[in-house]
């Protein structure tokens, strides 16, 4: 009798649990009104598969890293004069002065070609900038005379003058100091960020955030190598700036993940990965808005300062910020959070909890409840046996649950 009563109690408990699970999924979801992509994106209820499709995003992330590394190894970086040292020659660009003409005069005067020649600015403020290896005093005089005889640059008073041609030398030692300070600033930044996230959230989130930051650095540097822009101190400043943006976006998503997964180990209806995917959906629209708002002024900076005014320093700063903002938004949504879920579901209490939830769903499915009993939010499970999971991603609740009578 005792064993019979126990079996009856277990069956009754399972039935109550099944009715609770199927309260919102016991109707035909196909008959429910359909919501547009933008509506689901705006409300955060779209159940877009991010965590559930993390293998795809891992592959995409790996491909981006591979391309970036190949670009850095094959093409390399074009370091500016501040990092490599050398001489910079500058003079007003008169009417009809072409960079090819300047290169020819330079080569004929000194017997070797300059590193680069470019026109900066437009109109009356346009100047010609020549970057070359370090020149001695005699070479400077020779080049100055050759440039003056050919182009007759004018001073501020509008009179042709040799003084309109300026020279500036940057030693390799100073460039090396700039490099060391830049690396030191990056290391200090990463250490402080790791400590903050580990204290504010937890260790796994800190590890995922730092790996995402390294991804941002590698991809941004790879694109810089592909484009071939000079690496200047402005580039380093821009890189540190976009790392801060990427970290900010990642912390916002992680904050929502922490909120959604609080107390998850005491529940058996959803996995950690599913709640993390919900957090990504809830912050997705915000991340898109922040990225667009951040990119617009950078694009304006590139158009006005670079194409119209020709300010080379702003060009370096604008490019690294534009690339970094887009890459940082991608990593915070499609890489950092899926990586966090993979780390959690590999070992520890979250892994045990995930197996427990999936085993419970399998048990309910075996009792004949099928797709109407196994609840899912459409993402985050670490296994592929999910044929009996319902409702479908993006399904809306059919109504309020019936309250228990008191």
Considering the chain, what percentage of its residues have pLDDT values greater than 90? 9
| Residue range 86-170, CATH number | 3.30.70.260
Average pLDDT over residues 248-267: 87
Q: Cα 203 from chain centroid?
A: 21
Res 398 pLDDT > 50: no
Question: Tens of pLDDT along 276-307?
Answer: 888 888 888 888 888 899 888 888 877 776 66
Q: Would you state the pLDDT for residue 298?
A: 84
CA-nearest of 349, 171, 327 to 249 is: 327
Q: Would you state the pLDDT for residue 373?
A: 45
Rounded-to-integer distance, Cα 115 and Cα 111, Å? 13
pLDDT band at 175, cuts 50/70/90?
Answer: low
Res 400 pLDDT > 50: no
Question: Tens of pLDDT along 83-129?
Answer: 777 888 888 877 777 888 888 888 888 888 888 787 776 666 678 88
Average pLDDT over residues 47-69: 90
Q: What is the mean pLDDT of the chain?
A: 75
Question: Tens of pLDDT along 372-387?
Answer: 444 444 444 444 444 4
Residue 305 per-residue DSSP state: I
Res 247 pLDDT > 90: no
Looking up tokens 């970290």 gives 247
Q: Would you state the pLDDT for residue 155?
A: 77
Res 339 pLDDT > 90: yes
What lies within 8 Å, CB to CB, of 229 at 6+ separation is 78, 235, 315, 316, 319
CATH tag for 54-78+181-349 (out of 1.20.1640.10, 3.50.50.60, 2.160.20.10, 3.20.20.140): 1.20.1640.10
Which range scores top for mean pLDDT: 8-12, 256-260, 364-368, 388-392?
A: 256-260
Rounded-to-integer distance, Cα 46 and Cα 53, Å? 15
What are the C-alpha distances in Å from 44 to residues 55, 246, 395? 22, 21, 12
Res 214 pLDDT > 80: yes
Question: Tens of pLDDT along 129-157?
Answer: 888 888 888 888 888 888 888 888 877 77
Q: Would you state the pLDDT for residue 305?
A: 64
Angle CA 398–404–406, to nearest 5: 155
Q: Would you state the pLDDT for residue 39?
A: 60
User: What residues does CATH 1.20.1640.10 cover in the chain?
Assistant: 54-78+181-349
User: What residues does CATH 3.30.70.260 cover in the chain?
Assistant: 86-170
Q: Would you state the pLDDT for residue 65?
A: 95
Question: Is this model's pTM higher than 0.75 or not?
Answer: no
């Amino acid at each position: 009798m005792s064993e019979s009563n126990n079996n009856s109690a277990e069956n009754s408990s399972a039935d109550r649990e099944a009715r609770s699970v199927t309260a919102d999924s016991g109707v035909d979801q196909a008959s429910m009104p359909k919501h547009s992509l933008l509506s689901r994106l705006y409300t955060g209820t779209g159940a877009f598969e991010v965590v559930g499709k993390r293998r795809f995003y891992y592959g995409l992330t790996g491909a981006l890293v591979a391309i970036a590394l190949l670009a850095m190894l094959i093409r390399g970086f074009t370091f500016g004069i501040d990092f490599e040292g050398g001489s910079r020659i500058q003079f007003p660009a008169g009417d009809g002065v072409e960079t090819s003409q300047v290169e020819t005069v330079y080569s004929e005067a000194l017997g070797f070609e300059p590193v680069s020649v470019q026109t900066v600015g437009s109109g009356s403020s346009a100047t010609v900038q020549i970057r070359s290896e370090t020149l001695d005093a005699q070479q400077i005089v020779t080049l100055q005379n050759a440039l003056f005889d050919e182009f007759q640059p004018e001073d501020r008073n509008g009179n042709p003058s040799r003084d309109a041609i300026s020279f500036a030398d940057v030693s390799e030692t100073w460039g090396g100091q700039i490099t060391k300070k830049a690396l030191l600033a990056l290391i200090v930044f990463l250490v402080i960020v790791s400590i903050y996230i580990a204290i504010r959230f937890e260790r796994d989130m800190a590890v995922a955030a730092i790996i995402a930051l390294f991804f941002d650095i590698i991809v941004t540097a790879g694109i810089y190598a592909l484009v071939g822009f000079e690496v200047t101190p402005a580039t380093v400043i821009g890189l540190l700036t976009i790392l801060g943006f990427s970290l900010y976006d990642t912390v916002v998503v992680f904050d929502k993940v922490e909120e959604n997964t609080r107390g998850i180990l005491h529940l058996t209806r959803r996995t950690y990965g599913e709640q993390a995917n919900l957090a990504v959906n809830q912050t997705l629209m915000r991340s898109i808005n922040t990225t667009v708002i951040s990119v617009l002024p950078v694009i304006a900076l590139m158009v006005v300062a670079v194409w119209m005014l020709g300010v080379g320093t702003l060009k370096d700063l604008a490019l690294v910020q534009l690339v970094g903002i887009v890459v940082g938004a991608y990593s915070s949504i499609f890489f950092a959070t899926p990586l966090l879920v993979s780390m959690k579901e590999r070992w520890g209490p979250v892994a045990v909890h995930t197996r427990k939830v999936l085993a419970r769903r399998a048990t309910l499915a075996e009792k004949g409840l099928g797709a109407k009993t196994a609840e899912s939010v459409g993402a985050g499970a670490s296994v592929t046996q999910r044929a009996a999971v319902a409702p479908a991603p993006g399904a809306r609740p059919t109504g309020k649950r019936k309250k228990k009578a008191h």
